[in-house]
Structure 1
Amino acid sequence: MTSTLQGLTQALLDAAKKAGADAADSLVVRGTSVGVGVRDGRLEEAERSEGIDLGLRVMVGRRQACVSASDSSPDTMASMAERAVAMAREAPEDATIGLAEQDQLSPLRDAAGLDLADTSPEPDPETLKEAALACETAAKDMPGISQIDQCSAGYGRREMFLAATNGFSGGYARTNHSMSCVAITGTGADMERDFFGDARLHRADLLSADVIGRTAAERALARAGARQPKTGRYPVLYDERISASLIGHLLSAINGGTIARGASWLQDGIGQSVLPDGMDLIEDPHRPRISGSRPFDAEGLPTARRAIVSDGILTGWVLDLATGRKLGMHSTGNATRSAASPPSPAAGNLALTQGPKSQADLMKDMGTGLLVTSMIGATINPTTGDYSRGASGLWVENGQPVYPVNECTIAGNLRDMLRAMIPANDARKHLSRVVPSLLVEGMTIAGA
């Protein structure tokens, strides 16, 4: 038996049919990762992992079950299939499960043209160590930095292959290069820390160690002497590094699973204004060299560019086959899955319309308020959209940052917040979520 990923998926399907499945799909993922971490000029940790995950979903009538394993031996695959079929026979019936029809399947069966995998050799641990040490040195050399918590560098490669009894068979590889640094300023109760990192599919695109280290240090230094801000209603400017969280809350509200459960504050939102007039939210799964790109979804359906929000108006949900069937709609090609779970819907690459102004311009417009640079925790009511999160950042007066703040909470309602957003023009275009800094007026800040 072949040990290729394609061969393994077919072997799983054959085993499922032999065990009595009416239909099945299989996902095999093979991954390699290597990473190092340094502290105080010395190697602190070095890790390497290699593994394979096999996932099998079987259907017996309108019942389904999923099993997974990390052993690709024939005996294990036969056992997986027998167990999955036995589980499926005991599962409750669900009229919405089932594979795609053949005429629904993607004609693309690989990632040709998307440039998702770096063809250069895997970096050796010594190369990663040297990069991490250079990053640490750049951060430590910034005046006012008391210590570096850790600098790390890593590499990963992931290959996947999906096959199903409806005739779909396709796969592709993806690589990842990353580097990060956590810098600290002050000591004892006055200690503050911040972080910066970069991750790219191709090593040639990764920011330099010096830039990453210095940026982490600058962010930490900007937090020195932080205190609580004033309590009251003020405009809040979400820095570009965390502004995508607001769009994430919108995506959660329009996820097909949430809508099918009747648990969304946007339950009847299609055709309604959810963002400011003139603002679009575009999903584009075919952007070359971008981490969220993919030629087909986890059910073998084609992926395509679409406007989830057009001129502020919500155009549709984020659906896979099952949630689409529950809602009487077609899948939007947004199925995702792991080897151990059935498909579920999730959006990939997204870009929000940017505005004409810089973040500095928006700070001048806001006058007095809060520039949020990091957030912790979240209390989001999924059915009402009520929003409350812990935040820290910089207090702004007369359009200029005047002192760092921490230990505060910002609150509002997502429906009102999203409709009132004013975008800057500073989104990083290499990210999967291209979202600029966002100004939201009239939020409640709980501080001193």
Structure 2
Amino acid sequence: MKDIKDLSEYIINEALKQGADDVDVIIRESSSSNIEIRLGKIEELKQANPKGLGIRVFKNKRKALTYTSDLRLDSVKKLVTQTVEMAGITNQDEFNGLPEKNLLGIADVNLSLYDKKLETMSTEDKIRIAKEVEEIGMAQDPLINNSGGAHWGDTKSRMALSNSRGFFGEQEYSSCYFSLSLVAEKDGVKQTDYWWTRSRFLNKLDSVENVAKEAARRTVSKIGAIKPKTKKVPVVFDPEVGKDFLNIISSSVMGTSIYRKSSFLVDKLNKKIGVDNLTITDDGILKDGLGSRRFDGEGLPSRKNIVLDHGILKKYLCDCYSAKKLKHPPTGNASRGISSDPNPGTTNFYMQNGNITPEEIIKSVKNGLYLTSVNWVGVNYVTGDYSRGAEGIWIENGKLTYPVQEFTVAGNMLDMMKSIVMIGNDLTFKDSTNAPTFLIKEMMVSGS
């Protein structure tokens, strides 16, 4: 990003000259590729190289936000003028403004977030990986007779943030992934499933063979699925569904959700809401983490936040605006694009590992459900009520026996967090939100 600091300083000085009280500027450029292969043929091949900048101007507790992809100096100057003019007529808000200068900074950690090998990786190699994973997956079982597609994607990004209180920071990121979706059929009934791998680094992706075999295993394991009987049973959450469970919690600890009273965790700070061995962390400086960064979207240093400590809710995750409204310390969790205001978001959000193997957890269940998939709809974030369409495998006498689907699993998030009886030791950081296997004592399964 040539002369990015000079451009940022120009924008800030020009806005201050025209009457702004404070200014911040975010500049981002990226390149990405997305490839879809289906039955050995290329169905989609996209490459994009977007760039742009966003400007926030504050004036008398008023705020204006503008953005553009035109980085020519004369165009940028006109945009600055428009932004300052807009900031003179928007509504006042006592909580508007940049972070205090003493809050700004960059985490003093060595984070490796960018893989230069992606710069030289050819499109042919990306296509080859997608074709190989599909070919290997299709060959795993005669019941697999179709493909939902194999995908490759990668992104390389550079961003810079600066403001009129002296902050300037630059960050580079990369990520890459590939995935496979398969279709299996028996007696005219089709089943689908998928698997994937994602990392910041090419050499840390899972192997093509492992992704293909796992996609095939998950797809074929659904063959012969039946609807379970309605009853209350223990439920084992696999890591994928555990991740979904954590996404509900993360949305509910956001400062915006708390001050808008749209969370079941309002007024729960420093109260016990989970079992003793339930600890949930948001770690913005995790080594190789897909959500790691050295500073957040407002220029605060990234950090490790213990959100839930042995069942006690210790923090809401806040940007500066929500922190001011709640009289809660900001947590370095502001996320922002060039066209949006900062809002709180997670970095690397995870449930702390337990000390029990997933096999031991399953073995402890005499009659219950191993939950492998849920639909997103069915969560009331205000009350915590949870009712989801689901799929899984039935457990009998400590063994996975037969697949089940076309049912709902229901409970309440607060009750569920207080009913976790076992947490597995299989936590892996394959995404920015991650969970080990865990067991909830009892939930309502509604089937036949």
Q: How does 1:86-235 map to 2 (within 5 A)?
A: 86-108=85-107, 113-120=110-117, 121-143=119-141, 144-186=143-185, 190-235=189-234
Residues 344-355 of structure 1 correspond to what in structure 2 (within 5 A)? 344-355=343-354
CA distance in 1 between counterparts of 2:241 and 2:165 reads 41
Alignment-derived partner of residue 81 in structure 1? 80
The amino acid of 2:307's aligned partner reads I
Query: Larger deviation: 266-275 or 163-172?
Result: 266-275
Offset at residue 404 of structure 1 (A): 1.2
Indicate if the aligned counterparts of 1:5 and 1:160 stay in contact, CA closer than 8 A: no
Cα displacement (A) at 1:345: 1.0
Q: Give distance in 2, aligned partners of 1:382 and 1:151.
A: 34
Cα gap change, 1:423 to 1:20, in 2 (>3 Å): same
TM-superposed deviation, 1:398: 1.6
The whole-number CA distance in structure 1 between the counterparts of 2:187 and 2:53 is 48
Check conservation: 1:357, 1:425, Cα contact below 8 A. Answer: yes
Once residues 115 and 106 of structure 2 are traced to their aligned partners in structure 1, the CA distance between those partners, rounded to angstroms, is 24
Superposed displacement of residue 439, structure 1 = 1.2
Q: Can you list the C-alpha shifts for 1:236-278, whole angstroms capped at 9, x where unaligned?
A: 1111122022122222222111111222222111111122113
Aligned to 1:428: 428
Unaligned runs of 5+ in 2: none
Deviation at residue 188 of structure 1 after TM alignment? 8.7
CA deviations on 1:42-68 (whole Å, 9 max, x unpaired) are 222211111102111111111112111
Please, which runs of 5 or more residues in structure 1 have no aligned partner?
none
Distance 2:410 2:274 in 1: 18
| AA of the residue aligned to 1:142 | Q
CA gap of 1:246–1:157, structure 2 versus 1, over 3 A, is same
Structure 1 partner of 2:396 = 397
Q: How much has 1:289 moved relative to structure 2?
A: 1.5
Determine the C-alpha separation between the residues in 1 that align with 2:11 and 2:406. Answer: 52
1:151-204 deviation digits (Å, cap 9, x = unpaired):
122221011100111110001111112111001101695111101011111101
Q: Which residue of 1 aligns with 2:60?
A: 61
Amino acid corresponding to residue 137 of structure 1 in structure 2: E
Deviations 1:27-48 (A, max 9, x none): 1110101122212222222111
| Cα distance change on mapping 1:183 and 1:335 into 2, 3 Å | same
Give the residue type in structure 1 aligned to 2:35: V
Give the counterpart letter for 1:411 in structure 2.
A
What one-letter code is carried by the residue in structure 2 that aligns with 1:433? T
Please say if residues 8 and 72 of structure 1, whose CA atoms lie closer than 8 Å, have aligned partners that are also in contact: no
Q: Is the 8 A contact 2:305 2:331 kept in 1?
A: no
Alpha-carbon distance in 2 for matches of 1:25, 1:389: 42
Equivalents in 1 of 2:396, 2:156: separation in Å?
47
Q: State the Cα RMSD in Å.
A: 1.8
Letter of the 2:110 partner, please give it: G
How many residues were matched structurally?
445
Find runs of 4+ consecutive structure 1 residues off by over 4 angstroms.
Answer: none
Deviation at 1:7, TM superposition (A): 3.2
Contact 1:226/1:403 (CA < 8 Å) preserved in 2? yes
Partner Cα distance (1:22, 1:379) in 2? 45
In the alignment, is the contact (CA less than 8 A) between 2:182 and 2:219 conserved in 1? Answer: yes
Aligned residue number for residue 440 of structure 2: 440
Hey, what does 1:259 align to over in structure 2?
Answer: 258
Q: Secondary structure at the match of 1:370?
A: strand
User: Are the equivalent residues in 2 in contact too, given 1:292–1:348 (CA < 8 A)?
Assistant: yes
Q: Are the aligned partners of 1:15 and 1:77 in contact in 2 as well (CA < 8 Å)?
A: no
Give identity over the alignment, percent.
29
Structure-2 separation of matches of 1:93 and 1:438: 47
Where do residues 299-448 of structure 1 align in structure 2 (5 Å cutoff)?
A: 299-421=298-420, 422-448=422-448
Amino acid at match of 1:355: G
Q: Structure 1 residues 403 and 267 mapped into 2: Cα distance closer, same or farther (>3 Å)?
A: same
Partner SS, residue 288 of structure 1? coil
- Distance verdict in 2 for CA 1:14–1:146, change over 3 Å: same
**Structure 1's 39 and 11: CA in aligned 2 closer, same or farther, altered over 3 A?**
same
* Greater mean deviation of Cα atoms: 228-237 or 292-301: 228-237
More deviation in 159-168 or 352-361?
A: 352-361
Q: CA deviation at 1:430?
A: 4.6
TM-score (norm 1): 0.95
Output the CA distance in 1 between the equivalents of 2:109 and 2:327. 33
Q: Look up the SS of the partner of 2:239 in the other structure.
A: coil
Contact persistence 1:296–1:333 (CA under 8 A): yes
Deviations 1:84-124 (A, max 9, x none): 2233222211111111122211144xx96211001223311
For 1:288, the equivalent position in structure 2 comes to 287
Instruction: State the distance in 1 between where 2:277 and 2:399 align.
Output: 28
SS of the aligned residue for 2:241 comes to: coil
- What amino acid is aligned across from residue 297 of structure 2 in structure 1? A
- Secondary structure at the residue paired with 1:138? helix
1:3 deviation in Å? 4.1
Query: In 1, Cα distance between the equivalents of 2:86 and 2:235?
Result: 51
- Aligned partners of 1:43 and 1:229: how far apart in 2? 40
Question: Does structure 2 conserve the Cα–Cα contact (< 8 Å) formed by 1:235 and 1:369?
Answer: yes
CA 4–445 in structure 1, closer or farther in 2 if over 3 Å, else same:
farther
Structure 1 position 344, deviation (Å): 0.9
Residue deviations 1:349-368 (CA, integer Å, cap 9, x gap) = 13322222222221222221
Question: TM-score, with normalisation over the residues of structure 2?
Answer: 0.95
3-state secondary structure, aligned to 1:366: coil
Contact kept? 2:289, 2:429, Cα under 8 Å? no
Q: Is structure 2 residue 247 aligned with structure 1 residue 248?
A: yes
Evaluate the alpha carbon distance shift between residue 383 and residue 43 of structure 1 in structure 2; reply closer, same or farther with a 3 A threshold.
closer
Partner in structure 2 of residue 10 of structure 1: 9
Structure 2 counterpart of 1:268:
267
- Cα deviations by residue, 1:12-34 (Å, 9 ceiling, x for unpaired): 32343344322111111101011
SS class of match (1:13): helix
